[in-house]
Homo-oligomer: A and B are copies of this chain.
Amino acid sequence: MTDSDITPRKRFHALDARERARWLDPAEAEFCAHGFENASLNRILKQAGMSKGRSYHYFADKGELFRATLDRRMAGIAELCDAAVLAAKEPGLFWQEVAALGARLTAALQKDERLAALIRTLHQERAAQQACAVQLDVFRARVEALLTAGQAIGAVRGDLPTSLLVAVTLQLIVTVDHWFADHAAALDMAQEQLLSRQAFGLLIAPLIPPSQFGDDLP
């Protein structure tokens, strides 16, 4: 059989984990250190001792290598997102489950510095977002399902398009995360715990049905 219908991605996937790490370890180091656009493919290749030809045999382009790097780190994250939150039948429980979910993800990111760096790159660079469009859509769909479930039981406001609420929520998550990353050094642990509890309120404030607070706005 000719290789015309075998994508580089599949070829890479067929390699064993040991061999894949020979690519992904240097790539991850480079992407974490320089982000996506400023990462140099040539530098990665030199570091990994691989040639251009080999690279484009296994990865269609730079984006595919980034995606593979991210995929490896993301393994094990999916199982943190259990479905309990979708089953909640009243707002109090719903938000409690959301808070627990958020805490789990936050803890995972705090433990895995490399993953946090990759995700921050993904957040900051449009080119990286294009490279990972599929994964991002999956994540977006997850958040959308969550918000829709919240709307169904009246925990989330239903007077605005879901896509707008999703966009706002995603941005708020990364913004708050980013702020904590920037200011973590200046906080002791007690402060950080207190703040992150309050920051959770910040996150969900735009989602609360507007009738719940006094409408003294123009």
Query: What residues make up the interface of A, taking CB atoms closer than 8 Å to B?
Result: 35, 37, 91-92, 95-96, 99, 124-126, 159-161, 163-164, 167-168, 171-172, 175-176, 178-179, 183, 195, 198-206, 208, 210, 212-214, 216-218
Q: Which residues in B have their C-beta under 8 angstroms from that of A160?
A: 195, 198-199, 202
Interface of A is mostly: helix
Pick from B161, B164, B172, B210: contact of A168, CB under 8 Å: B172
Identify the closest chain B residue to A186 (Cβ): B161
B179 & A175 in contact (Cβ 8 Å cutoff): no
Identify the closest chain B residue to A99 (Cβ): B218
Contact of A168 with B213 at beta-carbon distance under 8 Å, contacts A96-B218, A124-B126, A218-B99 already known: no
The 5 closest A-B pairs by CB, nearest first: A213-B213, A171-B175, A205-B205, A205-B206, A96-B218
Identify the closest chain B residue to A214 (Cβ): B212
> How many identical chains are in the complex?
2
A179 & B206 in contact (Cβ 8 Å cutoff): no
Contact of A217 with B168 at beta-carbon distance under 8 Å, contacts A126-B125, A160-B195, A163-B179 already known: no
Expressed in whole angstroms, the Cα–Cα distance for A204 and B213 within the complex equals: 12
Q: Which residues in B have their C-beta under 8 angstroms from that of A99?
A: 217-218
Pick from B126, B178, B206: contact of A202, CB under 8 Å: B206
Expressed in whole angstroms, the Cα–Cα distance for A142 and B202 within the complex equals: 21
Additional A-B contact list (4), CB under 8 Å, known A92-B218, A95-B217? A92-B217, A160-B202, A168-B176, A212-B214
Expressed in whole angstroms, the Cα–Cα distance for A202 and B169 within the complex equals: 11
A175 & B167 in contact (Cβ 8 Å cutoff): yes
Q: Which residues in B have their C-beta under 8 angstroms from that of A201?
A: 210, 217
Contact of A199 with B126 at beta-carbon distance under 8 Å, contacts A92-B216, A99-B217, A171-B175 already known: no
Q: Which residues in B have their C-beta under 8 angstroms from that of A202?
A: 160, 164, 168, 206
Q: Which residues in B have their C-beta under 8 angstroms from that of A214?
A: 212
